[in-house]
Amino acid sequence: MSANEKVYIHEFIDIIKHNRANYMHHMTANYSPIAQEERGQLCFGVWGVVGSTGRWPQVVNIWEERSFAGMAASFRHEFEHPTLQDPKLSKWWARAAEYRSGGFDRLLVPAPWMRTSEQLTAAGVRGEVFAHAQIQLRPGGAPHYLELIRERAADLSAEFAWELAGAWRTAMVDDSECILLWAIPTWEQWAAFEQALASRPELGRVSDRDVEVRQTHRFLMVDAPLSPFRTGRQPARSDRVEDYEEI
């Protein structure tokens, strides 16, 4: 398998009131098909955060760009206008503002061995629930940490059926942060791992003299109805529902 040279956009989105389902549909059905056509940007996944384990109401979006060069072209497409927004998406931005109050984004660089969106969907990777982990490290430790995780992933897959779907280092922060995404087939398989941690804390640790893990925050997410991990394909224009409202 060739090295993954993609670049990813990771977004934490704060949702206004009862609009999580509206926002997820707006991102997948209304925005993603346009991004695919005009920017070559793919939807890696869209998830709702399980509020009992993280901030709520919140959505996580991850987008897959072709490369840093592709990311630069996408930025130019968006920011070359006086409004710093693509004018063709003005109505989309206006509707999105009804659903969200803001967010926090980062650029992610994948581990060379991480599978792309196309490879993951082709392999049928799915999850009833996903575990998202943010790991804070000593500056410079991210690349080596990801190699250690690669070794650990096989053990978690064999014992608990957790599958490592995403392994990234955050760009522009001195290689001091990693993001991991685990696809978990069932809620029970998540519970089995968490229960095992009580007597086997080493399951949740990655230790090496060359890596100093300063903090790990793991929370749960459930993917949106049109997320590729659920449908096995990219969102399409035909997925749109006019005036979609949450029931």
pLDDT per position as a tens digit, 183-196: 999 999 999 999 99
Residue 137, burial from CB neighbour count under 10 angstroms (0-12, 13-18, 19+) = buried
The set of residues, in sequence order, having a beta carbon less than 8 Å from that of 97 and lying 6+ positions away, is none
Backbone angles phi, psi at 121, to 5 degrees: -70, -35
Both tokens of 119, joined, read 């490879």
CATH (one of 3.30.70.100, 3.40.50.880, 3.40.50.1360, 3.30.420.40) for 7-108? 3.30.70.100
CA–CA gap between residue 59 and residue 48 (Å, rounded):
5
Instruction: Answer whether 7-108 and 117-223 agree in fold.
Output: yes
pLDDT per position as a tens digit, 121-163: 999 999 999 999 999 999 999 999 999 999 889 889 999 999 9
Its pTM stands at: 0.94
Could you state, in order of their start, the residue ranges of all structural domains in the chain? 7-108, 117-223
Q: For the domain covering 117-223, report its CATH number.
A: 3.30.70.100
CA–CA gap between residue 53 and residue 47 (Å, rounded):
14
pLDDT per position as a tens digit, 43-60: 999 999 999 999 999 999
